[in-house]
Amino acid sequence: PTTIYLKDYTPFGYLVDSVHLTFDLTPHATRVTSRIAFRPNPNATDRTFFLHGEELTLIRAAIDGGEITPELSDKGLTAITPDAPFIWEAEVEIDPGNNTALEGLYMSNGMYCTQCEAEGFRKITYYPDRPDVMSTFTVRINGDLPVLLSNGNPTAKGEGWAEWTDPWPKPAYLFALVAGDLIAHPGQFTTMSDREVELNLWVRPGDEGKCAFGMEALKKSMKWDEDVYGREYDLDVFNIVAVDDFNMGAMENKGLNIFNSSAVLASPETSTDANFERIEAIIAHEYFHNWTGNRITCRDWFQLCLKEGLTVFRDAQFTSDMRSAPVKRIHDAIDLRSRQFPEDNGPLSHPVRPESFQEINNFYTATVYEKGAEIIGMLKRLVGDEAYAKALDLYFDRHDGQACTIEDWLKVFEDTTDRDLSQFKRWYSQSGTPRIAVAEAWDDGTYTLTLSQRTEPTPGQDDKQPQVIPVAVGLLGPNGDEVRSTEVLELTETEQSFQFTGLAARPVASILRDFSAPVILEQDQTNSERAFLLAHDTDPFNRWQAGRSLAQDTLLRMISDEAAPDADYLDGLLSVLRDGELDPAYRALMLGLPAQSELAATLYERGDTPDPMAIWAAVETLRQATAQHMQDLLPRLHGEAMVDAPYSPDAEQSGKRALGSAALALTSRLDGGAMAADAYANADNMTLQLTALSCLLRARKGEEELAGFYDQWKHDRLVMDKWFGLQVSMASPEATPKTARALTEHPDFNWKNPNRFRAVMGALAMNHAGFHQTDGTGYQLLADWLIRLDPVNPQTTARMCAAFQTWTRYDAGRQDLMRAQLTRIAETPNLSRDTTEMVSRILG
Ligand code: B3K
Ligand code: ZN
């Protein structure tokens, strides 16, 4: 396979002035006719006329009306062109009905739809399929289907055809087409300059009742982007389509967003509070791309974080504004630690702006997205809110309509603030998670905090340079009062000391408040300091973190030294949970524990070999001890979690339900699931129903309920995904691989559907002790299915290979078993480029 390098970027030799496409839709022989106006690019030196094209049958090609015979390869075509503007025409045939990879034009339940990012347009017609080639598009769709959609505004239509014109120049990856028997859930938005926008959420018949929430989320997003970023929508219509077969969450095609149905369809009966929150965030994310991604796009795919990091940051701001900012920040930190840290500190580690790739789809990662968003957050913290707003205005002014780089992005900050960001830029080029060690000294009224940073070597990067790390710090006095409010220290050297003078007594420092940087803090805190911060910290993030550190510390000692659950943790937790003034959602988060995989990582990093069964047992023991310790409080928590208003997925109600669910889970450890059985019988929304069922399954009960759930919901694809997933995630470690295998034999295990495949295989990989069973059956089952899926859907296969990324952490026996499965995958004949790249990086 060929490797593509950032350093090799050159502009395309031609500019595209306009694109006209005609689609004659039939399932197995769709004709695509293109008419494209090219002209030589004055800023390019290489005039090779190469158009990408894959899996196309070329019927006819012409330049300025004269038929030509281009030179074809399996990657595209080359042709001789005039040294002046010219019109390119081509007619190709494609087979959407057999496109199981879900990239390009494909079919899902009789509906035609597209996914072009990153490089799917080349499976639709011959084209310079690169993000820096931007053009307006006019699309005519001929097809015998009631709804025919493409980007931009509708410009004409008749029986069996429709024409769409997108006036905004865009790269081909933002092209979209949808055709099918769809029903619209309509809406309407008036923009800040009083333009009316027609909104539609298009769904399959039967899903009409699941649209209202998504539509409201869209309107809120449109309003928020006007209020906070001054960004107005720019077309007459905005369409969203829900599709059942989709490789990821959603796609921001200009004016025609396409969503995995799981990322947009919602109703109280079928969706959990977490589903609603995720849907709201994804709708916002895709909508925000209209400016950060579409109006200003990426020069090349190495710059992916330019649009993704920024858009994730924007959707996080939106969620913080719509819901609770501390809760969102804690969720993001949990997510970063569980998904991005393992990537950043393992064989798949890559910079936020990678420097090379074989298959770009493998780089839509937590590092590019979530660490990319953290970088924006740090930048904002360093320059301040006002300068951030100014820089963003300048970014939109200066770069509207362009395909940009990270250099362009940083330059607007340098120009607005006069700051030199060359060291800050290392965040984009250096991979690995920086670790910050803390040393403290106290002398006569002066507290000295010494911070030192180091980043372990990562693949291809042995030497790391110090980065600019904003460390938000506050100080508490011995009575718990805050004696220094939050201050952002800028750590730029390998080691640096910061002094706080004029203090009456030795303070307790609260470091990395609000998780001000995506780093690992290595602080030798005593448990009494942690308990002190848990009781007194004014920073909600660090207050939660103090509890989390206590939990982690007790778990690690339980695992390594067979210690008993720590009293500081249990007592501290109890008093926080007792505090009725605290937001229920926040208290529910306090009851969380570090993921078992995260405990494994910590053990590994300090030189121990993690034993997944020992980790599992410690977590179980601690849970049991927590339930006993809080026994008297649990009825009160249930009471506080009561909602006696009609169901709403808002922050307040869902926070209460989160607390109630956590209390029910603990209660189930004491009453053998009696209360959960009751809760299951009375549940009138999916959040409660699923919580109760999971408590029952964890108590090794609930067989009847599980069967009842199936009968109740077998008609609903999205709920059935939950039914599949839950059984695997709640299985005992020993039973996990067996349970997953049995489910793959279930008639409803439609493995070509990515949601269903992930429901089972994703849950298997996430069930730490179950996946890592010493007989290797978990590894083998996953590998069997990855090998089977690869020829059908390489993108989803490659992504799921990451389940093996931590294989070198474990004991020799498990390593051998995992290596054997990875090798077996690698040696599969005709393995896709996607999976080949992933497996070879993981094997190292
Ligand atoms: N931009 C798309 C992701 C495309 C993934 C291609 N493999 C969704 C998003 O980030 O909004
Ligand atoms: Zn995105």
Question: What digits encode the pLDDT tens for the residues 184-213?
Answer: 999 999 999 999 999 999 999 999 999 999
Q: Where do we find the tokens 């609930």?
A: 702
Q: By alpha-carbon position, which residue is closest to atom 1 of ligand 1?
A: 251
Helix (H) or strand (E) run with residue 77 in it? strand 76-78
Question: What digits encode the pLDDT tens for the residues 473-483?
Answer: 999 999 999 99
The pLDDT mean for the chain works out to 98
Q: What whole-number percentage of the chain has pLDDT above 70? A: 100
Question: Where are the domains positioned within the chain?
Answer: 297-429, 438-455+465-517, 714-844
What CATH number labels 714-844? 1.25.50.10
Q: What's residue 1's pLDDT?
A: 84
Q: Mean per-residue pLDDT for 546-574?
A: 97
Model confidence at 341, pLDDT cuts 50, 70, 90, reads very high
Q: Mean per-residue pLDDT for 717-738?
A: 98
CA of 231 to the centre of ligand 1 (A): 21
For residue 360, the ligand 1 atom closest to its alpha carbon is 7
Length of the chain in residues, anyone?
Answer: 844
Taking the CA atoms of 687, 690, 696 and 699 in sequence, report the sign of the dihedral they define.
Answer: negative
684 CB contacts (<8 Å, ≥6 apart)?
269, 647
Residue type, 106: Y
For residue 308, the ligand 1 atom closest to its alpha carbon is 10
Q: Where do we find the tokens 């059935």?
A: 720
Find the helix packing angle between 686-698 and 651-671, rounded to 10°.
Answer: 20
Cis peptide before 441 (omega within 30 of 0): no
For residue 252, the ligand 1 atom closest to its alpha carbon is 11
Whether the CB of 170 sits within 6 Å of ligand 1 = no
Would you state the torsion angle of the CA atoms of residues 159, 165, 171, 174, taken in this order, to the nearest 10 degrees? -50
Whether the CB of 315 sits within 6 Å of ligand 1 = no
- CA 420 → CA 192, 372, 384, 414, 423, distances in Å? 36, 20, 15, 6, 8
Whether the CB of 370 sits within 6 Å of ligand 1 = no
Q: Mean per-residue pLDDT for 594-601?
A: 98
The yes or no reply on domain 438-455+465-517 and CATH 2.60.40.1840 is yes
Q: In what order do the strands lie in the sheet with 66-67?
A: 66-67, 57-63, 86-94, 30-40, 14-24, 135-142, 161-170, 153-158
CB 86 within 8 A of CB 38: yes
CA of 190 to the centre of ligand 1 (A): 28
796-800, long-range: CB < 8 A, 24+ apart: 796/102, 796/247, 796/754, 796/757, 796/758, 797/832, 797/834, 797/835, 798/359, 798/361, 798/362, 798/832, 798/834, 798/835, 798/837, 798/838, 799/362, 799/838, 800/758, 800/761, 800/762, 800/765
Residue 184 CA to chain centroid, in angstroms? 28
CA gap 365, 341 in Å, rounded: 11
For residue 285, the ligand 1 atom closest to its alpha carbon is 11
SS3 of 423, please?
coil
Whether the CB of 117 sits within 6 Å of ligand 1 = yes
CA of 360 to the centre of ligand 2 (A): 14
Catalytic residue among 163, 286, 359, 837: 286
Q: What whole-number percentage of the chain has pLDDT above 90? A: 100
Question: What digits encode the pLDDT tens for the residues 450-462?
Answer: 999 999 999 999 9
Question: What digits encode the pLDDT tens for the residues 96-145?
Answer: 999 999 999 999 999 999 999 999 999 999 999 999 999 999 999 999 99
CB 256 within 8 A of CB 151: yes
Find the helix packing angle between 527-536 and 567-578, rounded to 10°.
Answer: 0
Mutate to test the pocket of ligand 1, among 114, 308, 363, 796 (most ligand atoms within 8 A of CB): 308
Active site includes 493? no
Whether the CB of 364 sits within 6 Å of ligand 1 = yes
Residue type, 664: L
Q: What's residue 152's pLDDT?
A: 98
Q: Mean per-residue pLDDT for 369-392?
A: 99
Q: What's residue 763's pLDDT?
A: 99
What CATH number labels 297-429? 1.10.390.10
Q: By alpha-carbon position, which residue is closest to atom 3 of ligand 1?
A: 251
Give me 811's structure tokens. 């004991």
CA of 307 to the centre of ligand 2 (A): 7
Q: By alpha-carbon position, which residue is closest to atom 5 of ligand 1?
A: 117
For residue 117, the ligand 1 atom closest to its alpha carbon is 6
Whether the CB of 286 sits within 6 Å of ligand 1 = yes
